[in-house]
A and B are shown apart, each in its own frame.
Chain A
Amino acid sequence: MGFKNFEGADEEFDLAQMEAETEEMLRLRYLNKDNAVFARTAGGFVSLDIAEGEKGEPEHYDRVRVVRSFPFTAPTTYISIRTTEEKSKEIGIIKDITKDVSKDTRKMLEEQMSLRYFTPVITKIHDIREEYGHAYWDVETTEGPCKFVIYMNSSSVVSLSDVRLLITDLDGNRFEIPDFTQLSAGELKKLDLFL
């Protein structure tokens, strides 16, 4: 090896830094109404102030991402609050937004989550037409009428539970049927190909 003479130059410093990174990786900080203040920004996002950070200093974030840890099974608990840059880092976790934060904050965060997650719920199926390996859906959703196309393969319609379906279209949009047994007999017949 050609660089023996440089060995050990800043060794200790680097080791310390790696230790610190590992430490940070393992850290789990819960946020609640006592230690975190969320506020709406003029641009329609949410900012976060933590009066007393880990090392006692105040932390401020212009905009934070509000991310569900279990988007399908636990939409209101374990909400991860993250920084917005590409290698998004976790600032902290809200264990239960129905309990741990004020009503206002909860509303604010739920707005952010409904912005982040766009999964219209299918309320009525007008038609599912199958043509050459694709199925064309014409449905009514909670967010308005919608037409979309899915591939005819098993990954397009996924069962999240015995009654709950998640449908992914060609573009990667998702639609949910929370309980397909609630659909009418006619609608079920159209759907039975995917059950």
Chain B
Amino acid sequence: MNLKFDLPAAQQQAFTPADGEEIRYCSPYDIGADGKMKHDGYIVVTNQRLLIISGQEAETELALADITYLKCDPLVNNGILIARTVQEPEEHILARFTMKHVSRVAFIAKGALLLRDGVPKQVISREYDKTCPVCGRALRGTKECPKCSHKPSVLWKFFKLCGAYKGRLAIIAFLMLCVAVVQLMVPKIQQVFIDDYLKAGKGGMQEITLYAAILISVTGVTIMLHVLRYWMCISMGTKMSMDLRQMLYKKVQILSLSFIQDRRPGELMNRIVNDTRQVRRFMEEAFAGMFSCIISMISVVVVMLTMDWKLTLMSVVFVPIALGLSISFRKNIHRRFHMQWHRFDKTNSGLQDILAGMRVVKSFGTEEQEAEHFRKLTDDFAKIQEKNEVFWASLFPIISFVMGMGVYVVTYFGGLGVLEDRFTVGQLQQFINYTWMLYGPLGWMTFLPRMITQLMTSLERIYDVMDEEPLIKDHAEAVELDVKGAVEFKDVTFGYRSYEPVLEKINLSVKPGEMIGLVGASGTGKSTLINLIMRLYEVDDGQLLIDGVDINDLRIEKYHSQIGVVLQENFLFAGTIYNNLRFAKPDATEEEIIMAAKMANAHDFIVKTPDGYNTYVGEHGYSLSGGERQRLAIARAILNKPKLLILDEATSALDTESEYLIQKALERLTAGCTTFAIAHRLSTLKDADRLVVIDGHHIAEVGTHNELMEQKGIYYGLVTAQLQMQALKGEDAAEATEALA
């Protein structure tokens, strides 16, 4: 998202920069003080001032140093920028804007505050604009507007991509030429047959047989050529989309988590699956057809011109008319069928809604009402469907008539020509055939712009990912470190968004083999701290040292292979338990796997399943309970004998008894291994060497359980609160759950 618009010339008059003053952020605001839409308002933040420019005047001018409070307040379908200053200590409105700019202004407000505080960081937004701020075109998940950005066009990239398949392209081009030549030959053969044999009365059985044989063989050759060409196109399209898909997948995997998390879950999936399919479909359906149409149309026109240029012109004149008419017909049809689809969608979702809520419908006794509601929906749909079918049935012949207009003209004037002896009957027949060849593909050609646009959007989205630079990557001198387990945070600051630190100036030194319990309310940054240790994100400021080496200097893969991770939601891949367990260590022996499973208290339940370790899990597989999943994940993590073990709510889904058992097992396991554990159930952490309480982006308390209880600080509060809740729930409930397990 662009946070620095170019200030238009008219608005620049309102702004005279002082010495060394430069614009850092600039955004339009589009609602005036009177509540009307506004087109000449800008919010400008320089390294010294904040200006609200309206037209050619600066309406408000604040020195950054005077601002005590600055915030974008999102309201309903619009937002306001609020400030407090030294001079005006009351909150007041600086500017008002539509949703188009709310997020932008929020970023800019944070940026302005950073500038005020002398932090040199430029705030950037990874969000995408929904519409192009310049031309208003809808952007489909791409950073820049394809129309307004000046980077090498996607079309050019597409050609470069095609370059990799030169050989195939050459064959396809050759085949298309052959098809064109053969197609041109057919009417000529007919002409010769009609004029020289049929009309001349020379032909006998022999000629007719010969003619039929020639036609059959020509048709056979055409079919073969078509099949070959189609086959080549399909194989090229498939190859191309496969290559693109692999490239995309590799790229997505390299890109840091933040890239993936900034996007909606389905979006990357869409790009890898749908967008590459779009490319394939284009190559298969449109690419070859497009060129063969153009080639055959041009050659047909050339041949026609050599026969009779006047008649040719007469028939060609109707091409643009037929094209225009068929486009407008198509638009109309599209509109109607879109409406039908829209109703269909409504009916469908209505039905789904009712069926899903059947329990509620029945228990409230509103069956009649819902039936009536559904009847209305299907009625609507049926009506529009009927209308459309009738329309289509009556329109289709008209369209065919229009598309054939050129042919009627040729027939009429060509017929006159035959009567006047300027033409032979065979030549007229040949000419009419060529005209049909000219008009035939027109209907199909009207779909081309749509197909090309679809291809372009898909390519744009694909290249949007391809052009992204990974934030975390090995640099040239990265070292392969055998981790011993010392972790040190030195003034570490980090935030998922550049303006919003989640952790600030964290200092913590952990000895090898120590177990650290991380405690704090949700959203305080415990998981973030762990994400940093896992190096899923890079610290913004300060240093994170592993055995005294900066984490950024480690070779990522080697480092990751020495970390064991158990999360609250543990993902198991579709496959057997056996394969899932040895995910991180493919060469693990059966004995190692059983030992790991025993340690995680998983062996018993695994062996109880009919297929034991070969039990298939994942979607459609054996369904595991949350606790069982967690135990498998623990086994998976410890199999690798990690030097750093990370437990993020690792035992939350377990009952107290198995938690206790696993704790005992883990104790043995974590003996030589540095462990970071997060748990809401604080009793889980009672064996931690030290507890670290995180609150308000900082480390608030550090110490053992007993030390912190004596301090009577945050930890003490959390412990007592949890005991209250347990007491409230009552012992009965606890006993019941234990009995069930």
Contacts and interface: CB of A to CB of B under 8 A. Distances in A.
B683 A154 contact: no
Given A116-B75, A118-B78, A174-B77, A7 B727 contact: yes
B339 A147 contact: no
Given A62-B90, A132-B453, A3 B723 contact: yes
B727 A3 contact: no
B475 interface: no
A73 B615 CA distance: 57
Interface stretch (A40-48, A49-57, A74-82, A92-100): A40-48
A144 B37 contact: yes
Interface string A17-43: 000000000000000000000000111
Contacts of A45: 91-93
Contacts of B349: 154
Among B75, B346, B683, the one with the most A-chain Cβ atoms within 10 Å of its Cβ is B75
A192 B336 CA distance: 10
A119 interface: yes
A48 to B, nearest CB: 14
A114 B78 CA distance: 11
B37 A170 contact: no
A14 interface: yes
B116 interface: no
Contacts of B723: 3, 6-9
A149 interface: yes
Contacts of A132: 450, 453-454, 457
Interface string B340-356: 00100110010000000
Interface stretch (B4-12, B130-138, B410-418, B497-505): B130-138
A117 B77 contact: yes
A6 B82 CA distance: 47
B43 interface: no
A171 interface: yes
B432 interface: no
A171 B90 contact: no
- The contact size tier of chain B is 35 or more
Nearest to A147: B136
Contact of B91 (A9, A63, A134, A174): A63
A180 to B, nearest CB: 16
Interface string B436-471: 000000000000001001100100000000000000
B335 interface: yes
Interface residues of A, number: 49
B739 interface: no
A6 B727 CA distance: 11
Interface string A131-148: 010101000010111111
Contact of B682 (A3, A114, A169): A3
A171 B98 contact: yes
Nearest to B725: A14
Interface in B28-64: 31, 35-38
B88 interface: yes
Contacts of A7: 723, 727
B720 A6 contact: yes
A173 B100 contact: yes
A66 to B, nearest CB: 11
Nearest to B345: A154
B686 A170 contact: no
Contact of A3 (B96, B138, B719): B719
Contact of B92 (A3, A43, A141): A43
A120 interface: yes
B96 A115 contact: yes
A2 interface: yes
Contacts of B178: none
Given A132-B454, A149-B131, A114 B91 contact: no
Which of A7, A132, A147, A174 has the most chain B CB atoms inside 10 A of its CB? A132
Given A43-B88, A132-B450, A172 B77 contact: yes
Given A1-B656, A116-B76, A171-B130, 16 more contacts: A3-B723, A7-B727, A14-B724, A41-B91, A45-B93, A63-B91, A117-B77, A118-B31, A118-B78, A120-B37, A132-B450, A136-B138, A149-B130, A170-B131, A171-B100, A171-B131
30 contacts: A2-B686, A3-B682, A3-B719, A6-B719, A7-B723, A8-B723, A11-B724, A11-B727, A14-B724, A15-B724, A15-B728, A41-B92, A43-B82, A43-B93, A44-B93, A114-B35, A115-B35, A115-B80, A118-B31, A130-B335, A132-B454, A136-B136, A143-B31, A143-B36, A143-B37, A154-B349, A169-B99, A172-B99, A193-B338, A193-B339
Interface of B: 31, 35-38, 75-78, 80, 82, 88, 90-93, 96, 98-100, 130-131, 136-138, 335, 338-339, 342, 345-346, 349, 450, 453-454, 457, 656, 682-683, 686, 709, 719-724, 726-728
